[in-house]
Amino acid sequence: MPELLAKRVSNYELFFDLAFVLGISQLTSSIHLSHVGVQEIFSFIISNIILLNL
């Protein structure tokens, strides 16, 4: 079996992975409100558009 070589991960990759996880967790936590109104739906859609355009 060939030996596997570990590849170093740059700090930029770790930062963007962390930012992605934080953004997704914030978006999903906004769904778990007791009352979801028009303003919450609008802010959810706008924040998704902003995150996807980064």
List the pLDDT tens digit at each of the 54 positions of the chain: 678 888 888 999 999 999 989 988 887 887 776 677 788 889 888 988 988 887
Rg (CA), the chain: 17
Q: What is the pLDDT of residue 1?
A: 63
Exposure string of 3-32, with b = 16+ CB inside 10 Å and e = fewer, is eeeeeeeeeeeeeeeeeeeebeeeeeeeee
Distance CA 4, CA 6 (A): 6
**What gap in Å lies between CA 22 and CA 18, rounded to an integer?**
6
d(CA 43, CA 33): 13
What's residue 13's pLDDT? Answer: 92
pLDDT value at residue 24: 86
pLDDT of residue 33: 63
Q: What is the pTM of this model?
A: 0.48
